[in-house]
Amino acid sequence: MQLEAYLKDRRKHKDILLMTHIVLGYPSFDTNREVIRQMVENGVDCIEMQIPFSEPMADGPVIMKANLDSLAGGTRVEECLAFGAEMARTYDIAFLYMTYYNIVFKYGEEKLLDRCAADTIRGLIIPDLPPDQSEFFFSQARKKGISPILIYSPTSSEERMKEVDEAGNGFIYCVARRGVTGKKSELNVDFDAYMQRCRRATDKMLAVGFGIQNHDDIATLMGKADIAVIGSETIRLVDAEGPEAVGPFIAGLKR
């Protein structure tokens, strides 16, 4: 099942879906396995697995540190892809890769897409690859059943939103605010107006990330977004309390 159909099917039964984020190889692949197990067992619908990169421009200090520490520990792209394939075989939820275009270019666009298709990876998030510079890559991804996930931000014009809608697939990732990941977002009247613009611009499902941290944030998103994205918060939790704390945290988001 392709990503959009999978998510729409799950959305029928939930007020909002939950997507989480991990950095592959941080602090280790064994920890990644345990974190993913706890996420899946506590109802996560989709997991974004970040292939680490040395200059993660969209990421704040928590995820940036995780990227750099993973690379310093020797993580390689091939290990990440093998791990992603293992997770997709093990769990019946949607897995995506998130990374930056240097990784894709170095590995090879066609080679990466073929690998994702073979391993049942359902989508790709590449923040620094805009639709007007990647038409062939995105069209090839769609042909192979892989959803290119593109991004709206509060500074996106209506014209840009239309371009993103036409190029993307699966869902639109709506950045909650300007800046990078990790900092708490203010989900206020300005945010509501922004989400209304997003709704007018596309009929695709809307995911909201950047600074979504707790149950109250997710409750605020209900009726405005289809998917809530938790990223930096779970990494902070693993750093502070270990991977065993992830399951109760995820369960608490839905209480």
Residues forming the active site? 48, 59
Residue pair 221/186 in contact by the 8 Å Cβ criterion: no
* Phi, psi dihedral angles at 141 (to 5 degrees): -60, -50
Rounded distance, CA 45 to CA 227, Å? 9
Q: Tokens for 94?
A: 């949607």
* Phi, psi dihedral angles at 56 (to 5 degrees): -80, 85
Count other C-beta atoms under 10 Å from residue 152's C-beta.
24
Buried b (16+ CB within 10 A) or exposed e, 183-204: bebebeeebeebbeebeebbeb
Least Cα distance to 121 among 101, 151, 93 occurs for 93
Within the chain, strands assigned E span: 17-23, 46-50, 94-98, 123-125, 147-152, 171-175, 205-209, 227-230
